[in-house]
Amino acid sequence: MHINWISISIFLFIACARQVFVDYGKIERLIELREYNEAIGRLAEISPDDTLLARLYILAGRYDEALSCALSPYQSGWIYQKLGMYEDAIHSYMDVDDILYENAMYNCGICASEAGDTAGAIVYFKKAGDFADAKRMLALSYEAEKNYIEALSIWKELRGAEALYHRAEIYNLVEESGESLYQELLKNYPESSYALMALDKVSVPQEVIVNVLYENKKYSEALKYVSRKDHRMRALCFEGMGRYTDAANEYRSTKDRLNTGKCLEKAGFPARALEEYRSSGSDEGYFRAGVLYEQMGRKRDAIDAYSKVGSSFKKTANLRSGLLCLDEGKIDLAKKCFEHTFPVPGNYWLAKITGLSSYRSYVLSESPLSYYAYLLDGKLEISKSTPEEWIASFCDTVYSISHEDSIRLLKGRLLLGYGITKEAKQELSLIKEDNSLFRYRLALLAYNGGLDVLALYWAKKIIDKGCSPFPYKILTIAYPLSFLPTVMEYAEMDPFLFMALIREESYFYPIAVSPSNAIGLTQVIPSTGKGIARELGMKQFDPESLKDPNTSIRFGIHYFNYCLKRFNGVAEYALAAYNGGPTRAGKWKKDCPTDEWVERIPRTETCLYVKKVMGSYYAYKQLYGDALELGK
C-alpha cells in the first residue's frame, strides 16, 4: 500500500499549527481581560522562550521573573530600577540608543540620585535634555552639590512656586536678598507648600499670612491671624474646620444669607436654613429651599420655591418640580415642567406620562448609552460600518501630526510593547492632535497595550462627537472587559454591574489616585480599606495594596455587597451608598419608584454617579449579554 507521507506531514503540520493558534488565541483573550498571571501560565507551557512573556511579567508586576526573559536594555533598566538595583539599572539604561535615549538618561539620573550620587545624576540629567522634569532635577542636583550658579541659571528658566522659592533660597545663601522673590511667591502662588515655607523667611502683613494658611487648608492656624472684624474670612475658616454653626454666625454678620443657610443646613438646622435660603432672594437659595422642602415632605412649598428659581438653576428646578407635580396629580403642570428642563430626562418623563413613542425615540436616539435608555429598555443598535467609515461620516479623516506628536507616539508605542504602561501614558497623554480618526487609532493602540484609561477616554470622546448607531469595536474599547474573571470570582451581584462601577470610578486604571486619596480600580479610601481588611480577616493592611487589581476588586466588591444588602439589593440605592456613604443614602431613601428617587437625590455628584453607572451597566448588558460565557 502506498502511503502519501507528504500529505500526512502537511496534515500534521496544519493540525499542530491550529492547536498553537487556538492556544495563542486564548492567551490573547486573557491579555485582553488583563488576566496576566493566567496568560503567563499558559504561555510558559507552550513557549517558555516567547518574548511576550517579558511584557506579561512586567504587566503583572512579577519583576524578578521578568529578568529571566530576553529583555531590551530599557526593559532591563526599568526592572532593575523597580527592584532598587540602581547600579544595574544605570548599566542597562546606558545601552539604550533609540528614541527612548532621553527617557533612559532621565531614569539614570533618578537612579543615581537614589543611590546618593548627585554628581553622577547631574551628568545624566544633562543628557536627558527637556524630557519630563529633567531640568528641575538637574537644578536640585546642582544645589545638592552646592553649585549655586548653575542651579540658579536653570531655576530662572523654569516657572512656578518651586522655582521662585529655590531662587530666593540661593540668593540668601550667596548673601543677596531673596525677599522680593518670596513676596512674588506669596502673591502668585499662595496655595503652594512653598508659600508656607516662605512665610518663615519674610515679614508680611497679616492678611497675606491668613491667605496662605487658608489656601493650604490650615484653617485653625489661619483663624489665629484673622481680625474679629473680618467676618467673611472667619466664616471661611470655621467652615473649613467643620464648625458650621460658628461659620453661619459669621456669614450672618456679612448679610450673606445663602452661605448662612448652607452652613445651618450642614449643622443640622433645616428650618433655620430654609429661612435664610428664602431670604437670600437668589436662584440657588430658592433651589436649595425647594430641595429642603422636598426632604421635609412639604411638596407644595417645594413647588412654590422652585417656581421662583431663575435661569441658572431653572432646568434642574423644573425637573424636580415636574416630579412633585406628578405626585400631586397635576399632570398638565408636570408636562409643562418636563418640556422646559434638560432634553433627555425631560423626554424620558414625558414618554412615561404620555406613552407617546416620539418622546421615547428622542431619548433612544440622542442618548442611546444613558441611564434613561436603560429605563426605557431600549435596544442598542450596532453600526455595520467600520470605525473608520463611521468616523468619516462626521469628521475629516485627513490629518497631519506634528514632529513632537510623532515622537511621543513612537515612544508610547514602544513603551506599551515593553509593558511599561505608566510611562506610555505620560507620553501619549501629551499628544495634541485632536482629529477623531487619529484619536481612534490612539485608542486602539492604548487598548491593545493594556492602557484602558486612555483608550476609554479617547473612545468616549469620539462617541460623544458621533451619532448612533456606533461601531462595535469602538464600543468595546469604551466598555472594556478588563478584569472580568476577577470580578466574577468575588461578585455576588451581576458582574456587569460591578464592571460599570469600575468604569466610572477609575476608567480601569489600577494605580488611579483621586484628590481625596481614593485608590485603585474601585477607588477605596485607605480608612475604609483598613476596616474592610479587618472584616476579611487580614492582619495587615497597606494602602498601596489597593493598587493591586485583585485587592482593589475584592475590597470594592466587599463594600458594595454590604451596600446592596443594606438596601435590599436595589442597585441604585447601593450605588448611592457607595458614592455618598450608607448613612447619607439612608436619609435620602423615600417610598417612591426608583427612577423618581434617583432623580431626587439631593447631592448632585451622587445623582450623576448613579445615572452614569446604571447607564454603563445597560451598555455592558446590551453589548455582551451573558457575563458567565465571556468570563470562561
Give the C-alpha separation, 595 to 599, whole Å.
6
Give the C-alpha separation, 610 to 607, whole Å.
5
Length of the chain, please? 632
Residue with cell 512653598: 194
Give the C-alpha separation, 610 to 574, whole Å.
9
Kindly give, in sequence order, each residue whose CB lies less than 8 Å from that of residue 303, ignoring residues fewer than 6 positions away: 290, 321, 324, 325, 328
Under 8 Å between Cβ of 174 and 155: no
Helices (H) and strands (E) in the chain, counts: 41, 2
Report the relative pairing of strands 470-471 and 382-383 from DSSP bridges: parallel
If DSSP codes are grouped into helix, strand and coil, which group holds residue 223? helix
Kindly give, in sequence order, each residue whose CB lies less than 8 Å from that of residue 47, ignoring residues fewer than 6 positions away: 53
Q: Which amino acid is at 534?
A: R
Residue with cell 543611590: 115
Q: Could you say which of 505, 544, 596, 599 is catalytic?
A: 505
Under 8 Å between Cβ of 372 and 344: yes
DSSP state of 97: -
Cα atoms found within 13 Å of the Cα of residue 272, Cβ hemisphere only: 15
Q: Is residue 221 exposed (0-12), middle (13-18) or buried (19+ Cβ within 10 Å)?
A: middle
Active site residue 505: yes
Catalytic residue numbers, as ranges: 505
